[in-house]
Amino acid sequence: MKKSILIITVIAAAIMELIDTSIVNVALSHMSGNLGATLEDTSWVITAYAIANIIVIPMTSFLTAKLGRRNYYIGSIIAFTFFSAMCGLASNIWTLVAFRFLQGIGGGALLSVSQAIVFEVYGKERVSIASALFGVGVFLGPTIGPTLGGFITENYTWPWIFYINIPIGIAVTVSSLLLVTEPEIKAKVKSVDWWGILLLIIGIGSLQTVLERGETDDWFSAGYIIVLTIVAVFSLSTFIWWELTTPNPVIDLRVLKSKSLAVAAILIFVTGFGLFTSVFLTPVLAQRVLLFPPTITGLILLPGAVLAIVGLLFSATLLKRGVSPLIIITAGFVIFISFTWQMSHMNLEASPGDLVGPLIYRAMGIALLTVPLTALAVSGLELKDIPQGTALNNMMRQLGGSFGIAVINTYVAQRFGLHRNDLLSNINIFNDQTTARIAKLTNYFSSRGFSSFDAHKKAIAVIDSTINRQSSLLSYLDAYLFSGLIFLLAMPLLFLVINRKKQTRPVVIVSDH
């Protein structure tokens, strides 16, 4: 019974942290108006959290060894909960951004440490089931975040997207105080790698800022984006060299000598790309282009989210029965590519029901990837290296999401311009359909009491709005195809590990060092 409650506790903590990566997205305009800030400044609320997460996640192995797993984990939950409350109470935008960054620092431990605890509780023989259960949190968090954020913002006020963490955080803290213990094997930190920590913070912080803010500020047209790009490249290059040469690195990159971990890390990056970009694209397409209300948008995501749990447990069962992770991973990639292909054929007449089927494919594809990729990642690692490997994998998933959204945002903007210009080329006085449509709209507005000039102006505005909507649709459909192409190009990496023996039972994680 205690083990079951502990599993529920740590998975709830992970889901809470992952929900907060996307719950804010739909509330930005409300925050902007309420705090008297521009939408551009308000978007730093998302950026600050992402930067803090990406910095802390790869350091969790070091921090648990230095502070003790129990102290670090419970302290992180308390910090996450406290700063969630402070975010809701913030009276201006930059106070909110600061608290949001500190909330992200607290939340960074809730992924890797929670995963390590789940693996430890289930033991070697049931590690695939442990991966599946933790995968529920990895999948559900980002998926339901926008829906939950939209519901709260519509029916209450934006601070409640932060206040909702308080009761959950308190319950998780109390349960953790009673149930979380130190791992059986503890690591000792001989010395603190301050240079590694500094280079990691500067490098990842700069990279994440570039990814999050690049599209908003027109990439390299902004001087600070150029500076941060140079800083990121220099810092991360130096960081890699330093971590490979220092005797006590904050992040032991030597674990990437394992071919299975290196390949899995890249595939997890791609999976993060698909998971987060699809969560980003689908609600925007549904609400802004297909004009679905937020409640309906949330409901079309629900069947896939429920079936994903089945997919996660199914993939775990296959692993337990000896099916190679490579077979399941390949199936997951093919199913996700099928989702992107189906979504690329939507039109403006699509109903909510038309999206449910493809979204089920999306959910099943990601579900089939989650468990076997974890198994593949740790299959070639020694016991002492597994926590570091899982921390790197969690970082790669989050980086994949950040990179994916940055790329997709830019791609959609470029494709929108291309499609709009293409459609506009057909709108001219020599096109009989165009002139007939404008005449019909002008007559309609004239019959409503507008002058002939105003009626014609409104007719042109309707045509322009229609072109924009159609251009938006086409650009989003292209973005789905682009995501599918990324998955297709990543699949050959599996050949690098295809000749390995079946890796169905990876070593269990029993420590956090």
Q: Return d(Cα 402, Cα 406) in angstroms, integer.
A: 6
Whole-model pTM? 0.76
What are 149-172's pLDDT values in tens digits? 777 877 888 889 899 999 999 999
Q: Spell out the domain ranges in the chain.
A: 1-189, 193-249, 418-471
Nearest to 240 by CA among 260, 256, 224: 256
Q: How confident is the model at residue 47 (pLDDT cuts 50, 70, 90)?
A: confident
Q: How confident is the model at residue 508 (pLDDT cuts 50, 70, 90)?
A: very low
Distances (CA, A) of 296 to 25, 283, 355: 17, 10, 11
What are 452-491's pLDDT values in tens digits? 777 878 888 888 888 888 898 999 999 999 999 999 999 8
Q: How confident is the model at residue 103 (pLDDT cuts 50, 70, 90)?
A: very high
Q: Of residues 413 and 189, which shows the higher confidence score?
A: 413
Radius of gyration of the chain (CA): 24
Mean local confidence (pLDDT), 221-239: 87
Q: How confident is the model at residue 203 (pLDDT cuts 50, 70, 90)?
A: confident
Q: Of residues 323 and 429, which shows the higher confidence score?
A: 323
* pLDDT value for 511: 37
Residue 158: φ, ψ to 5°: -60, -30
Q: Which two tokens stand for residue 24?
A: 């804010």
Nearest to 379 by CA among 493, 243, 262: 262
- How far from each other are the two terminal CA atoms of the chain, in whole angstroms? 27
What are 254-298's pLDDT values in tens digits? 777 777 778 888 898 998 888 888 877 887 888 788 888 767 777
| The amino acid at 125 | E
Q: How confident is the model at residue 99 (pLDDT cuts 50, 70, 90)?
A: very high
Q: How confident is the model at residue 504 (pLDDT cuts 50, 70, 90)?
A: very low
* Residues 6 or more apart whose Cβ sits within 8 Å of residue 486: 270, 273, 274
Q: Which two tokens stand for residue 157?
A: 């006020």
The answer to whether the beta carbons of residues 359 and 300 sit under 8 Å apart is: yes
Q: Return d(Cα 172, Cα 9) in angstroms, integer.
A: 6
Confidence check: pLDDT of 503 > 70: no
Annotate 42-60 with b (16+ C-beta within 10 A) or e (fewer).
bbbbbbbbbbbbbbbbbbb
Q: How confident is the model at residue 4 (pLDDT cuts 50, 70, 90)?
A: confident
| The amino acid at 385 | D
Cα 119 versus chain centre, distance: 22
Length, in residues, of the chain: 513
The answer to whether the beta carbons of residues 338 and 361 sit under 8 Å apart is: yes
Confidence check: pLDDT of 513 > 70: no
φ/ψ region of 449 (left if φ > 0, alpha if ψ in -120 to 50, else beta) reads left
Annotate 18-34 with b (16+ C-beta within 10 A) or e (fewer).
bbbbbbbbbbbebbbee
CATH C-level class of 1-189: mainly alpha
How are the residues of the chain apportioned to helix, strand and coil, as percentages rounded to the nearest 5?
A: 80, 0, 20
* Residues 6 or more apart whose Cβ sits within 8 Å of residue 30: 153, 157, 158
| The amino acid at 343 | M
Confidence check: pLDDT of 95 > 60: yes
Confidence check: pLDDT of 14 > 90: no
Asked which of 23-27, 203-207, 354-358 is least confident by mean pLDDT, the reply is: 23-27
